[in-house]
Amino acid sequence: MMDQVTPLTVLFADISSSTRIVKLYGDSRGREIIGKVLDRVAGAVRNRDGRVVDRVGDELMCAFPGPLQAVPAALEILAAVADGAAAGEYPEGLRLRIGLHHGSVVQEGERIFGDTIHTAKRMVDMAKADQILTTHETLSAVGSLPGMQCRPVDELRIKGHVKPLSIQEILPQGSSVTVLAGGASTPRTSSTERYVSCTIRCGGKEHILDVNRPVFKIGRDAASDWTIAHGCVSREHGRLEYQKGRIIFIDHSTNGTFVQENGASGMVRVHREQRWLRDNGVLRFGARDDAEEVLTLEYACQDGSLRASGSAQSAEASEPFSDQLGLAGLRR
């Protein structure tokens, strides 16, 4: 049988903080809870002419004929999971992350392959709890749908794409956020994304990334700004860059880098691509867990207001760096 190339919308639904569910309820009960949540997800997918292609742990990969089915399904998935908790099927407070992208895939029987899958996976990895992320080109095929609104949230360079992808968030109609209704537009840089510097703490030292020192390299190589002698770290693992008011991390590694932003419940893996950093958080190089903190870098981005007065700087300097970051409950 010859492989068939066909357009599909690929959607990933991932349970946020599933590891904590297992730790809290135990292996058996935790697995049962995760299964019931994913059953709810699968039901919402089938209601919109979609199918579950694969399950890996706490995540489902689904396929739809097009975004006209997949986008409403994404909203229905969040509602269905909330309904299941309200009905007592599993504890309340369980949250999902959803990412989707429309494009061509290669079909081999029931299996699918291709860049569309990788892009959809990148969307779910970027999403926060209860957030649906997709691309501008996916929403361009949808137009305006009842019950839906969207807003631009980011741009991202992904390997294999010539231009940066415009990332959009899908929300239910009436959500109390500033949005652009019914379709996508080019993201606009907000004032909060204009930074004058980024304070970095790693290896027991602090560094400032700014216009005077715009690059900070990490890796096993002795020429790195931070040399990490660990087998999971690549020789030239990655680098932080200051670019016209933005703080960007670029990964070149074999094992990837795990990014956890302040307030996020999970970590996003960045692998041979770049990610804009905002506010504050941590990077872990080559491994998700780092009990001894030998692979962990803390960062805090400063906008112009933090440099406006010397007194503000002095007050911040008197506080522990981790308190400035707000990382008390973030690291583990």
- The domain limits of the chain are 4-172, 192-325
Instruction: Give SS3 for 332.
Output: coil
How confident is the model at residue 81, as a pLDDT? 94
Residues with Cβ within 8 Å of residue 35, at least 6 apart in sequence: none
- Cα 12 to Cα 84: distance, rounded to the nearest angstrom: 19
Q: Which residues pair with 112 in a beta bridge?
A: 107
- Beta strand residue intervals within the chain, DSSP E: 4-15, 51-56, 59-64, 96-108, 111-113, 131-135, 148-156, 165-172, 195-202, 205-210, 215-219, 226-227, 238-243, 246-251, 257-261, 268-270, 274-277, 280-285, 296-303
Look up residue 284 and give its two tokens: 């872990």
Name the superfamily (CATH) of residues 4-172.
Answer: Nucleotide cyclase, GGDEF domain (3.30.70.1230)
Cα separation, 307 vs 313, whole angstroms: 7
With a CB cutoff of 8 Å and minimum separation 6, the contacts of 103 are: 7, 8, 10, 114, 115, 116, 119, 137
Sign of CA dihedral 284, 164, 113, 11: positive
Domain pair 4-172 / 192-325, same fold: no
pLDDT at 160: 66
What are the structure tokens assigned to 237, written together?
């693992």
Nearest to 17 by CA among 33, 4, 6, 1: 33
pLDDT attached to residue 67: 93
Residue 282 phi, psi dihedral angles, 5° rounding: -135, 155
CB 164, CB 155: distance < 8 Å: yes
Q: How many residues does the chain have?
A: 332
Taking only Cα atoms into account, the Rg of the chain, rounded to an integer number of angstroms, comes to 21
Burial level of 221, CB count in 10 A (0-12/13-18/19+)? middle
Q: Which residues of 112-149 are buried (b: 16+ CB within 10 A; e: fewer)?
A: bebbbbebbbbbbbbbbbebbbbbbbbbeebeebeebb
| DSSP-derived pairing of the beta strands 131-135 and 96-108 | parallel
Look up the CATH number of domain 192-325: 2.60.200.20
Cβ-contact 139, 183 below 8 angstroms: yes
Q: Computed from CA positions of residues 189, 191, 197, 199, in that sequence, does the dihedral angle turn out positive or negative?
A: negative
| Under 8 Å between Cβ of 99 and 127 | yes
What is the structure's pLDDT at 48? 95
Position 122 scores a pLDDT of 87
Reduce the DSSP state of residue 246 to 3 states and report it. Answer: strand
Q: Would you give the DSSP letter of residue 146?
A: T
Give pLDDT, residue 229. Answer: 94
- Residue 202 contacts residue 297 (beta carbons within 8 Å): yes
On whether the pTM is more than 0.85, the answer is no
* pLDDT in 10s for each residue of the chain, 332 residues: 566 889 999 999 999 877 788 888 898 998 999 999 999 999 999 999 999 999 988 899 999 999 999 999 999 999 999 999 999 999 888 889 999 999 999 988 888 999 999 999 989 888 888 899 999 889 887 766 777 788 888 777 776 666 778 888 998 876 655 444 444 444 444 434 578 999 999 999 999 999 889 999 999 999 899 999 999 999 999 999 998 788 999 998 999 999 998 867 678 888 888 888 988 999 999 999 988 889 999 999 998 654 444 434 433 433 444 444 444 434 43
